[in-house]
Structures are given as structure tokens and as C-alpha cells.
Structure 1
Amino acid sequence: MRKLLIFSLFLVVLTTFVFGGWEFESVFYTEPGTEITNAYGAHGIAVDPAGNIWFGMYNYPTDSTVTATDTIYYYGPRVFDPSGTELSMSPIKMLTIDGVTDTLFSSCRGLATDKDGNILLTVSGALYRINYQTGEGMNKYVSTDIGTGSWTKAGVDAEGRIFIAKVVPGGGPIKILNHDFTELGNAVSSWSQICRALQVSADGKDLYTGSTWNGKGIIHFHSDIPGVLEYTPVDTIGNRYIEGVLDTTWIYTSDTTIVGTDTTITIDTTFTTEPYYSVLWPEDITIGPEGKVIYAANTQGEWSDKYRGSRWLAFDLETGEELYTIGTPEFDPEKPYVNGAIWNGRGAAWSADGNTMYLIDFGYCNITKWSKTAAVDDNVGNIVRTFSLYQNFPNPFNPTTTIPFTIENSGLIKLIVYDMLGHEVATLVNKKMNPGSYKFEFDATQHATGMYIYRLTVDGKQMAKKMLYVK
């Protein structure tokens, strides 16, 4: 009987494929001819207000026309209704804007929706807006500052401002556009990290970029007045793992060394020793429908670590805490798709009710469909917490500020302030405390102006927030 029970449980695990409350439902679409090949194709996904799914290709054309002298290849997006039927306007091969027709020869770099639900298509050197109902072109943006190379997926805030940049290692601005595609200025004048995707909070004050090849994870910027004050780096999310423990204070100093709050760690890139070092290399980042969780597609296993490669990871935007992972690592170009597998994620999008998630995979060149189970909620407020850390007041401050928090259970409490290099500035609390609400004052008189992080630790669990000291 016991053996039968174990087998039954094992069978359930094999057939349900539930990750963090997201259950694999089906392969929604696979680009023809790429079923068993490393096609390096899928590179954009969005869901419009009608529920239609827009799908962009990078290195594999969506259509072609044979002429007497040549073959013309098109890389415009495909469009499907929720049942998987391709719409008559799909694939979109040309866009006419202000009397000028552009043929979509260039690979798709990303898809997003603007505040009205219209489609933002990024290609090399340009950003287009497409009417989601007709498939017709509406606007086009080019920038001599960004240049003609590969651009990122666009980020959009609730006011309709659009954020766009170039995918480069050598530097370049992150631009802010008004809803009508006119430039507001630079969000960041020069940024040297490779980022295939940008995301922005609904209020436009927090900007996130995903950095690959350098192991900095998700980089978080902040501006108190978007479009007026430039964004400055605040912290990172998911940038360092040692034995699975996240510490956003660790700083990458060279190819072989990282320096943290408590220790300096030598990197073992062969993964032959424990604790092992690994990095989050987000090929895509997407903020979930509730605006409280950011999803990051960790890249192929051989580019990351032997345990965590090729998965989607969900992080709490407020605390940086990893909530769960989605998918199983799979990156064998000689094998057909395995249900629930992730090879090289490049985009995520949700139905209007937030109950269906669509993920695209660069290696498998497909769209997979996932259903929300009763066990998951993208609203982090539904995650049970036994303590709360609140924003300091006043903020900004000079030179003192008050940090409030509450705890529901007795335990060992630590409240520590760090500078942006991860150095400990002040320990405000380090003792056992009873349940209740508390306030502690931080005096920055002896410290430099700038951004600081304060972190509350309750029996090993952490929350952190930022505060600004201005003289």
C-alpha cells in the first residue's frame, strides 16, 4: 500500500506541473519548422484588450514573398485569438504611418501594450505603435541618441509614458516618451548594462532593467519626479545567490570576487564547491498584472548555475524576496518540448483577469499557456507575513528620521542601516522583542548625503526599504 501511495503521488507530480501556483496547461503555439531545433526565435508577447495574443519573432521570419530576383522575409508579429486561431490581419508585414510605408524586415525585439491597449513593437532602431483592433500603424519613433542597433522592450506607466533604450554593453540613454511619442528627455543619460527589457511602476517613479552577461540581476532605479529628475540606481533584485540565499547588498567587484555586508566571496564558476556562486541573468523582466511581483526569465543553464538556470523567477517588488520559480530547466536542442520546461524565456503576458499567463521561449520558439490555481496570487498582500516594515518619515530627511515597524510574534529583531555600497552604517536594533509596534530614530549627522537602505530581520526573514538623506 505504501509503495502504491508513493507511486500515486509521483504520478501527480509528473502530470500537474504546478510551479508557485501556476499550472502548465498547454503549448499554445509553436512556430512551424522549429519543433525540435534551437531556432532562437520567440522574442515578444503581449495581450491586447480583446484578449488576442501578439507574438514576435527574432531570428525566424513569420512570412516571405518570392520575387523574380529575391526572397523577401518578414518579421512582423503574428496575432491569435484566445482559442489559438490566427487572425486575418496576421502576420503583419507592413506599417504605413504618415504616408510612409515600412516593411517589417527587422527582427522583433519586444512587444508591450500602451495605456490604451495598442501594441508597442520594438525592432532594431525603431519603436512602432500598432492599432490592436486593425493592425494598422499609428506612430513611429526613432532616435539618433539611442542609435540603430537592437532596442529593448518598452516599459509603460499608468500615465502612458514610454521608456525605451538600446541593448548595448557600451552605454547609451534610457529615453522617456510621452504617450504621443514625443520625447520628454532621458530617464538615465548613460547606462552601460545590457538590458533586453525595461519595466516601470504604475506611478512611473521606479524603473527596472534586466542585465545579462554581467550578473547584476534586475537593477532598480528611482526618480521622485519622472520626466523632470533623472533616475538613479537604488538597489538590485536577485543579483546574488549563495546556497540559495538572496542578499541584495552584495557588490560585484570583478570577474572572480563579490563583496557583501559580512564577507568577501571568491567565485567558483565551475560549481564544484559549496557554497556555490550563481547569478540571475534575466533575458526578460515583466511586472505582473497586480503590479507587486516582477517576473524574471533566468537564462540558459550553461550561462548561469547548475541548479537555477532556465526558469522564471518571481520576486516581491517591495522587498526583493524570491517568491517562487516557474518551469523546469530544459535546454536540449535535440529533444522535443517537455511540458512545463523553460529553455530561454523571452516574455510574459497575462489575460485581462490575470488568471492565464502566456510565456514565450526563445529556444523552443513557442508560446506556453499557464493557469492560475487557488494556491497562487500575484497580489503579494495575500502572502502571510508576521511582521511589517514601514516607510521612514520624514523622507527625504535631514538629519534625523523615524523608522516604524510591527511584529506579531516574539523573536530576535535586527534593524540595520546600510549605504548603497552595502556597508553597515548603523545598527538600530539587535535584540529579542515582544509583539507590538515600534519606532526607532536614525541620525545621519555623521554620514554623507544620499540614498540608504534600512533592513528589518525577524528570525531570519527580511524586509528592506530605501530612504534619502538630503542636507
Structure 2
Amino acid sequence: MMKTNKIIALLSLVLIPMMASAQWTQDTTFKATDGDSFFENHGVAVDGQGRVWIQSYYWVTEDLITQRDLGDDGVPDTISTGAIYVYNQDGTPADFSPLIDIEYEDESTPADTLYRRWNGESYEAMSGRGIEADYNGDIIISSFDRLIKISHESVKAVAKVVVNGSSLTEASADRDGNIYVSNVAATDAPIYKYDSNLENPEELVTLTSGFSRDFQVSPDGNTIWWAGYTGPGVLEYSREDEFSSFPTVPDTVLRGYKVESFDLHPQTYHLWIGSGSLNDVPAEGIQPQTWYAFDYATLGSDETRMDSIQWAAGADISAGYDESRPRGLDFSADGQTAFVGVFNGLSTEFDVQKFTTEQVYTSNEDENKNEIPEGFSLEQNYPNPFNPTTNIEYTINQAGPVTLKVYDMTGREVATLVNARMSAGEHVVSFDASNLSSGVYIYSLQANGVRLTNKMTLIK
């Protein structure tokens, strides 16, 4: 009997943009700007009820009637301000959108206006700096130098902290509810860790250079990826456990990527990064305006692209790209819907796009995620390495259409081994690679809504 194989299903999407374009489809019915005036996206987050929160950078999208009358004309001042817009996944506005100010659950803390602040003399403008959903689906807003945590159930603030320094990055969160943030300008700036109530700050590392809109923390809080998108790649700070210190000198991974946004896939925990733009051009072979996924456990040694989503450019300005800069990404809880946002999307009619996939995501990374349905498996080929033939065994739990394909590491399909309706049970397929060169290849099985993949090595 073959052993149950729990290979992470997302490996089937290893295959760079040409493969990913067949997996992720833009839902053009989602147009979040219909009836709203937000622009210059600075963050996207999906809350615990599946609603999509969109943050603009600027503060001139709405009008705010103040409680002051600076002109002494008996009429309260009306000033321009910004808002956060919240949508259901079908693109209809949530009933509480737009959010211009935030009320607090304790009913005693004064409401916070998100984009304007009275400094004693004038209405100070504050930009939107990022928006993140934590593992409970609550929303963390970076509003210039403040972090505000909002319950996705009450849509009221439950915590706030003013962080030392100037403009903040987008926040990140770990599985225990701790919240992390830093400053965009990273010279001598610390990365702060707060508890889930935005209290008990701790300085984890001191950044020495770089300029980042966003960064990402691993689920266990023991690895930090700092973009510094003006630098050579992503800086990785990694410690052994929560009782250890982070190194002062990080590793550099994902060289050549100019990252402005990060996210972790909610099912596979693959690390997704924005590749860069025409403003910050990535290295040769990396497509701008694209989000790529990686197995973060192998960064620095194996940086195979596991998946990708490309922004649907609105104009052919330069080699099919436009001015847009990848600035926001988040997924639905099942990982099958992605929302991506860009800054400077001047040639599109909206700054946030929705993509969907029929991919069923399963993983064995930890006990919190679903396993592959019983009766499905894709075994390691044998022999492996091989020259030039090998056998591939798989099992399906019910009859139906089956495809088994082989790809090279650039995503090019090199063989179709099965493309037919197959009976339930165990099957063995022989693969002859006589016409291929030595190297690592990916074989991918798709059947009954489940996709599994594995790697094999040809040595001649």
C-alpha cells in the first residue's frame, strides 16, 4: 500500500506567471471605487467576516464637519479628510463604510479621526500608512504615527498606541496576537513588538538602512522579513526561539525583488511579496507589478516561485506595465480569493483588484490546517534520481477526470502523462525523460478539485 502523502498542495503553482495566469482569474465585477472616491491604495485587509478593508494614502477623499469654528462665522468648519472603505466580497459597500472616524468599545475614549488631527493650532493631515488583519480577523490600522486595533465584530476600536518616530509601516502580527510595527525610514529605527492590546512594547531589532512600506513576521514570531525595497533584496532576521535574541546582522534573501507589500497565505503560509514596479525596477527575470509566493523555510537556499498573481495593467505604457506600484495584498480565509492593491494606479479605473482560483489548498504545516482529503495521494517517484525513466504512483478516491503533468523549473510544461477519466484507486504511470536535460522537474496531479505536486531529479 502506498503511504498517505501530505505534500503541500500549493506546490502545483510553482510555475511563475504563465502557469499562475491559468490558476488565478481576475473578477472584473469587483470595482470597489464605484460610488466612492478613494485613490492611491496603501493597504488591503480581509477581516474575520470576509469584508475587504481598503486604505487610501491621501486625506482628501471625504468631507469632515468639525466641532470648531475657526472662522468665527457661526458655522462649524468643514475640512477635507480621508476614509477607510469597506466592501463585501461582491463589491457592495459595507453598511458602515466609509469610516472617517473610529469610535471605541469602552465608550469613554474620544473617537479618533483617521486622517486629520487637531494639534492645537490647525488640522494636521495624516496619511494612511497600512492596514493588516491579524489571525483573529481583527484590523490593525497604521495611521501616520498611531496604531489602532479594530474589532471585526463591533467595528469599534479596542486598543491604540502612538508609536515613537514618524510615519509607520504597515503592521504585522503573529499567531499569538502580538503586533509588530516600525518606521518607513529605517535608519536607526527599531522594530517594535506589542502584545494584543498594543501594550508592553519591546524593541526587537534596530534597522540600519532601507526604506520600507511593509514587512512580515512569521507565524511563530521568530523570523522577520524587512523589505528595504531600495536595497538589494529582503533582509531576514531569524532567531531560534522566543527566548533568543534576533541577530544584529540579517541575511539577505530574495535578491533583486523590490518589495513594497507582504502577506502570508492563510492556508499554506507561503510568503507572498510584491516584486517591484517601473518606479523600483526588479532584477532581470522578475516581472514588475506581480506578487510571488515562496516557501519561507527555504529562503536563501531554494527560492522557487510557488505561485504568482499579476496586476492587470490598465494601459500598455512600457512592455505591458503601467505606473502602478504593488502596495497591498490579502486573502480570504480559504485562500481562494485574493485582493491586490496598487499605489499610483492612474491608468486603471480602480486601485484594488480581485482574483479567484479553484485551487483547493491543503497543507501539513501544522495541526490547524486541513489535510488532503482521505484517499488522495501522490507518491515520490521511483527511482529518484532517475535516468531516463521513472515511475509515478498516485491514488484517487473516486472516478473522474485526472491530469498528471510535468513542468521544468521555469514553469514550462514538458509532458502530459495523464489526461483522461480514471477509475478510483491506485495508479502507476511511467515517465520517459530521454528528450530532457538533467535537472529538477515538478510533477503535478489534479483530480476532483484536489491538486498535489512533488519534485523529481533527472541525472544523465
Shorter-chain TM-score: what band? 0.5 to 0.7
Contact 2:278 2:322 in 1 (8 A): no
Write the letter of the residue equivalent to 1:55: I
Contact 1:293 1:316 in 2 (8 A): yes
Equivalent-residue separation in structure 1 for 2:272 and 2:378 (angstroms): 20
Partner of 1:362: 343
Q: 1:385 and 1:121, CA in 2 relative to 1: closer, same or farther beyond 3 A?
A: farther
1:155-234 equivalent positions in 2, closer than 5 A = 155-214=172-231, 216-226=232-242, 229-234=245-250
Deviations 1:368-398 (A, max 9, x none): 1111134x858598999979xxxxxxxxxxx
Equivalent-residue separation in structure 2 for 1:407 and 1:304 (angstroms): 43
Partner of 1:408: 384
Contact 1:174 1:188 in 2 (8 A): yes
Equivalent-residue separation in structure 2 for 1:196 and 1:20 (angstroms): 30
Give 3-state SS (helix, strand or coil) of 1:196's partner: coil
Equivalent-residue separation in structure 2 for 1:377 and 1:180 (angstroms): 32
Q: 1:324 and 1:116, CA in 2 relative to 1: closer, same or farther beyond 3 A?
A: closer
Deviations 1:340-389 (A, max 9, x none): 98932111111121111111121225221111134x858598999979xx
Write the letter of the residue equivalent to 2:296: L
Q: Which of the residues 101, 106, 117 maps onto 1:94? A: 101
Write the letter of the residue equivalent to 1:355: Q
Question: How many residue pairs align between the two structures?
Answer: 333
Which runs of no fewer than 5 residues in structure 1 stay unpaired?
1-15, 240-278, 388-405, 412-457, 463-471
Q: CA deviation at 1:282?
A: 0.7
Contact 1:176 1:227 in 2 (8 A): no
Q: Which of the residues 276, 290, 308 maps onto 1:311? A: 290
Which runs of no fewer than 5 residues in structure 2 stay unpaired?
1-17, 67-74, 116-125, 366-371, 388-436, 442-460
1:81-160 equivalent positions in 2, closer than 5 A = 81-97=88-104, 98-105=108-115, 106-144=126-164, 147=165, 149-160=166-177
Partner of 1:294: 271
Query: TM (normalized to structure 1)?
Result: 0.62
Higher relative CO (CA 8 A, sep ≥ 6), structure 1 or 2?
Answer: 2
Taking every aligned residue pair, what percent have the same amino acid on both sides? 23
Deviations 1:143-181 (A, max 9, x none): 22xx1x221111111111111100004230000111111
1:380-419 equivalent positions in 2, closer than 5 A = 408-410=384-386
Supply the RMSD in Å over aligned alpha carbons: 3.7
Deviations 1:7-33 (A, max 9, x none): xxxxxxxxx995262222225234369
Contact 1:343 1:363 in 2 (8 A): yes
Equivalent-residue separation in structure 1 for 2:35 and 2:199 (angstroms): 40
Is 39-48 or 126-135 further displaced after alignment? 39-48
Give 3-state SS (helix, strand or coil) of 1:88's partner: coil
Equivalent-residue separation in structure 2 for 1:20 and 1:171 (angstroms): 44
Tell whether 2:330 aligns with 1:349.
yes
Write the letter of the residue equivalent to 1:409: P
Q: 1:334 and 1:408, CA in 2 relative to 1: closer, same or farther beyond 3 A?
A: closer
Q: CA deviation at 1:323?
A: 2.7
Contact 2:329 2:338 in 1 (8 A): yes
Contact 1:309 1:329 in 2 (8 A): no
Query: TM (normalized to structure 2)?
Result: 0.63
Equivalent-residue separation in structure 2 for 1:209 and 1:378 (angstroms): 28
Q: 1:331 and 1:25, CA in 2 relative to 1: closer, same or farther beyond 3 A?
A: closer
Select the structure that is richer in strand. Answer: 1
Equivalent-residue separation in structure 1 for 2:218 and 2:62 (angstroms): 36
- Structure 1 stretches of 4+ with a deviation exceeding 6 A read 380-387
Q: 1:18 and 1:108, CA in 2 relative to 1: closer, same or farther beyond 3 A?
A: same
Equivalent-residue separation in structure 1 for 2:35 and 2:86 (angstroms): 18
